[in-house]
Amino acid sequence: MTRLAYETSQAARLREIFVQAGAQPVECTILQPADTLLDLYGEDIRGRAYVTSDALRGEQMLRPDFTVPVVQMHMAHGAAPARYTYAGPVFRRQEDDAARANEYMQVGYEVFDGANLAAADAEVFALIRDALGAAPLRAATGDIGILTAAVSALNTTERRKAALMRHIWRPRRFRALIDRFAGRTPVPPARATLLAAPDPFADCAPMIGLRSRREIAARISALHADAKAPPIPEAEVALIDAILSVRETLPYALERLRDIAVDMPAIAPAVEQLAARMAALQDRGVDVERLDFEASYGRTTMEYYDGFVFGFYAEARPDLPPVASGGRYDALTRVLGQGLEIPAVGGVIRPGLLADLEGTA
């Protein structure tokens, strides 16, 4: 049997496991309108997905995953609770590493259900773990919701919080913003000159382009307001750093986060959600004492996860991407829901990587 045939048969087998678990099988087209994906991910998606076009429909993308079309399909039909599964090829542009596959099978399980979030998280995680069988994999988990709760709780302006929220998934820019808002980095000279100028438009070059003088003036007033705002207190920055550095097995991580929540009570609901998830995972037979939790996990991958995140890695093959991964994406249903929303969590398995592991075992 060729590798592709084996991968395809494994995909069918895994999908059947998800059907048995109560999911409704769905199909999605391979060509997806590029607009939706570009709006969600921005220009970066062009580096990761194949873009094609015709004169009639404009730009199309070869689907880089199923989540977005499945969410769109679900939200178009009224956002009632549902469970779906799918299996099929996805396509990822590879420009730097020829060893990475540019076409591979994904088998997914997605839960749209707001009745019990912790139970739904545990359901997806445990089902995927069980479907992976005996393969020697290490699970990594995280929770973006704790970091966003901490940012919302900061004692600073709404504008600064919005800027930090926008860059939750870009750790480098997030760090630069935190350092600036906390007064740790000096005001850049050009900014200082601008703020000190009696007339910032004196000797100004001719206005060209779509961004108007009014927009520029509005930003300058915002910068003045920001310069007057007090820095984010050092103690709060230390708490953000403490959260980001939590990297323990789940019970210890929970203990650590509860300690932090004493000083930052606003994250307590998110931390208790983590506790509820731990209990739900235990109910599903997951050995939480040995489950790793990393508060900064999932911040650099796909930027739609906003709560629980997880991945399964082949310990003997650090060169491979995760064999399975997933997470919660409530906000995505809101963005694509045209006024509707529903809590949602899901995950995917790459049967091709499972096949590679069997080959090396």
Partner 1 sequence: MSIKLGVPSKGRLMEKTFDWFGARGVRLSRAGSDREYAGAVDGIDGVELVLLSAGEIPRELSAGRIHLGVTGTDLVREKLGGWEQKVEELAQLGFGHADLVIAVPAAWVDVDTLDDLDAVASAFRAQHGFRLRIATKYHRLVRDFLRDQGVADYQLVDSQGATEGTVKFETAEAVADITSSGDTLRANHLKVLSDGLVLQSQATLFRSRCAVLCDDSRAVLAKLLEQLSLD
Closest CB to partner 1 among 194 and 355?
194
Round to the nearest angstrom and report the end-to-end CA distance of the chain: 18
Question: Which of these segments, 7-15, 134-142, 164-172, 327-335, binds partner 1 (CB under 8 A)?
Answer: 164-172
Q: How many distinct helices (H) and strands (E) make up the chain? A: 15, 12
By CB under 8 A, is residue 266 in contact with partner 1?
no
Kindly tell me which residue out of 194, 279, 320, 357 binds partner 1, with binding defined by CB under 8 A.
Answer: 194
Binding mask 216-255 for partner 1 (x = CB under 8 A): x-xxx--x--------------------------------
Distances (CA, A) of 114 to 16, 143, 196, 267: 25, 17, 51, 21
- Provide, rounded to whole angstroms, the least separation between the CB of residue 179 and partner 1: 11
* Near partner 1 in 277-306, by CB under 8 A: none
Residue pointed to by tokens 């009570």: 265
Task: State the Cα torsion 277-283-285-286 to the nearest 10°.
Answer: 10
Question: Which of these segments, 40-48, 264-272, 325-333, 341-349, binds partner 1 (CB under 8 A)?
Answer: 40-48
- Provide, rounded to whole angstroms, the least separation between the CB of residue 205 and partner 1: 3
Question: Which of these segments, 127-135, 202-210, 232-240, 308-316, binds partner 1 (CB under 8 A)?
Answer: 202-210
Enumerate residues 6+ apart whose C-beta is below 8 A from 33: 57, 58, 59, 60, 61
Closest CB to partner 1 among 24 and 53?
53
Task: State the Cα torsion 130-131-134-140 to the nearest 10°.
Answer: -70
By CB under 8 A, is residue 100 in contact with partner 1?
no
Enumerate residues 6+ apart whose C-beta is below 8 A from 136: 314, 315, 316, 357, 361
Question: Which of these segments, 96-104, 118-126, 320-328, 341-349, binds partner 1 (CB under 8 A)?
Answer: 96-104
Closest CB to partner 1 among 46 and 317?
46
- Provide, rounded to whole angstroms, the least separation between the CB of residue 335 and partner 1: 14
Closest CB to partner 1 among 134 and 202?
202
Distances (CA, A) of 284 to 108, 111, 124, 277, 290: 19, 16, 10, 10, 14
Residues that bind partner 1 (rule: CB under 8 A) add up to a total of: 41
| Rounded (to 5) percent helix, strand, coil in the chain | 50, 20, 35
Kindly tell me which residue out of 167, 256, 277, 350 binds partner 1, with binding defined by CB under 8 A.
Answer: 167
Closest CB to partner 1 among 51 and 268?
51
Rg over CA atoms, the chain: 23
Going by C-alpha positions, the residue among 28, 24, 21, 25 that lies closest to residue 125 is 21
Closest CB to partner 1 among 134 and 196?
196
The two tokens of residue 19 are: 């059907």
By CB under 8 A, is residue 196 in contact with partner 1?
no
Distances (CA, A) of 47 to 43, 50, 65: 8, 8, 14
Going by C-alpha positions, the residue among 345, 309, 348, 263 that lies closest to residue 88 is 348
By CB under 8 A, is residue 258 in contact with partner 1?
no
The residues that touch partner 1, with contacts defined as CB under 8 A, are 38, 42-44, 46-47, 94-98, 163, 166-167, 170, 172-174, 176, 180, 188, 190-191, 194, 200-201, 204-211, 213, 215-216, 218-220, 223
